[in-house]
Amino acid sequence: MKNDVKKIVRRAQQSLEMTTSPKVAKAFKNAKQLGLFDLNWYQEHYGQFPHELAAFNDYLAKSTSSNVNPSQNFDTEFYHRANVDIYLSGTNPLLHYMYHGREEGRLSAPAINRWIPATDLIPEETPSWKEQKIALVLHIFYSDFVDKFAESVKNFPTNVDVFITASSEQIKNNSYKVFSELKNVGNVKVVICENRGRNFGPFLVNFSKELLKYDLMCHLHSKKSLYSGREQTQWFDYLHNFLLKDKHVVKSLLRLFDKNKKLGMYYPTSFWMMPAWVNHWTCNKPFATDYEDEWGIDISDNFVNYPVGGMFWARPNALKPLLDQSYSYESFPEEPLPNDGSKLHALERTLGLLAEKEGYEQYFYYPPQGKFTTDKTYISSSYFKTPESLKSDIQNFEVVSFDIFDTVLRREYTAPDYAKLKLGKEIAREGYFDSAKSFIEARNQAELECRRAKGFEKDVDIFEAYERLAISYNFPLELAERWACREFDFDLDMSLPKDEIVKIVHDLNEMGREIWFITDIYYTKSQISQMLKKIGISIPYKLFVSADLGLRKDTGTMWTYVKDLLAKNGKSHIHVGDNVRSDAQICGDYGLQNVHILNPIDKWRIAGFETPDFSSEQAILKWGKNISHFGRYPFFGE
């Protein structure tokens, strides 16, 4: 019997060798000789293969889009990140390193454990995993994806029904023909969809309630990005691999669903070349309030586990409140939609929360270690970084700009409005307002009115806000000016350095880097200079203050200004800041490189601590110092 198995394996290997190009066969031998491919290591992580060459081909096929590693001696993700041109070109990282990268002095590294899941789900054989009733839901906008999906479905290990929403008559007809011919496909339903609702609207309009008849559903859609001079499909390829294409992963996830009925949603961890903040709500919370009210989900955290890209497996019952409704295309916003900030972007982020609200768990696949897990902390894995590593990330840029508040400066009690509260208590004792709370409301309303008068485009400074307050309440202007200065004094007194970041700022200056500080704030340039001096900034720097320039990061006007300056001096630049929108997402939209860091509240939440309600001074005094100190360094790993 053993001899028969050996003969079968040998014949399979010989057959594969005959169909494998001489270049790949040579690369396989070179990789083994260099210790860069290890069959035992690869199989421990990614499943069993009939022979070495099959495993090597598996790595070659996945590694242009997925962060799988060929051995403990080569880290695919590191090579892609260190050599982005190789990633964008679609060149295989290991082959490039062996034949070009070593001679060119390209950076490489052994396999890095960036994150180790706290739980490990082990797929077990069950007698019924192949009997689950499965619906594959495909949204096909690009015609070439018909064959791409069909090839994966052809190799799917069980029988399935296929539901397709197509963007054209040609795609509809071709899809029906191609999928109807597959032996493991039962029912095929194809409809032409409107260009509304992106990938969610079409299947909800046409198939939502019907999907509730199934044990499992898998939702995928054709996805392309067009930049860098070539078509980019790595993000799609990554999701496609670990949702539908990879036989080992697919069989494993089906076994896990069958064995554990509490598992309600599955998807691979967020695409590894996405920015660290991809699991943040960004600007989408306002669009999620209807879902929050209707489903009773909690959207209070800023970071959230969700299938980034909108592709996933789920038990339809885990999404029953979403699926058990009637939809029309008018239920969804019209095109064109922004890159972020819409009801559909919000819906994507609510899926995992909904499954959990229905009593189910989410689980994930982490490719570098080949593990399935329910550990949700992968969303913070990019925020484990030592100060030395952070400095290394930014030290090669000629200009390094920093946000100020929660980046180089921390407030002693964390709460940004505590200075207003302390001032309000004084003013209330003097009889100008009934309470500190009523003062804060009036002061903030005055600032809002100033912003409204400027069309919310230009910024206002603290003296403008207090002048408007004085006019509204008929207070002397001199008194209001004293209050403005007093509020600043309170804030200045509570300003503390984020010591590790301040040290990095000074180290960069010693290395000859130009340091800029860029902040959206109502304080004047002179006041901000005092704050920087208070926290120990004692080097030359350029200071860009929104209240002084009338420009803001969160509207993009500041970044336009900064980009023009950089274009004139021709210097390389990177920005460091804690605000996901203004310091990272919008900054990046203007083509500026950036590093997002965690503010104290987000670091506190990600660590699993409950966030206090800072509406009371008692909570501020009890928790504020702890959170401020915990968030002094903006990464884990200090």
Return the HEC string of 13-59: HHHHHHHCCHHHHHHHHHHHHCCCCCHHHHHHHHCCCCCHHHHHHHH
Question: What CATH number does domain 387-410+496-630 carry, 1.10.10.60, 3.40.50.1000, 1.10.3720.10, 3.40.50.970?
Answer: 3.40.50.1000
How distant, in Å, are the alpha carbons of 78, 106, 138 from that of 103? Answer: 18, 8, 44
Each domain of the chain, given as residue ranges in start order, spans: 2-104, 133-269+310-339+361-374, 387-410+496-630, 418-492
What pLDDT shows up at residue 60? 97
How distant, in Å, are the alpha carbons of 277, 353, 379 from that of 610? Answer: 20, 18, 18
What pLDDT shows up at residue 227? 43
Which CATH topology does 133-269+310-339+361-374 take?
Spore Coat Polysaccharide Biosynthesis Protein SpsA; Chain A (3.90.550)
What pLDDT shows up at residue 9? 42
| DSSP structure class, residue 584 | I
* Residue whose C-alpha is closest to residue 266's, from 299, 298, 239, 295: 239
Q: Do residues 283 and 151 touch, judged by C-beta distance below 8 A?
A: no
What pLDDT shows up at residue 223? 86
Using DSSP bridges, classify how beta strands 185-192 and 160-166 pair: parallel, antiparallel or unpaired: parallel
What pLDDT shows up at residue 68? 98
What pLDDT shows up at residue 20? 64
What pLDDT shows up at residue 565? 97
Residues of the chain with pLDDT under 50: 1-2, 5-9, 11-19, 226-230
What pLDDT shows up at residue 228? 38
What pLDDT shows up at residue 12? 44
How distant, in Å, are the alpha carbons of 83, 458, 514 from that of 551? Answer: 35, 6, 21
What pLDDT shows up at residue 394? 97
What pLDDT shows up at residue 611? 87
What pLDDT shows up at residue 231? 67
What pLDDT shows up at residue 330? 97
Q: Sheet holding 514-519: strands in order across?
A: 542-545, 514-519, 399-402, 573-577, 593-596
| DSSP structure class, residue 610 | P
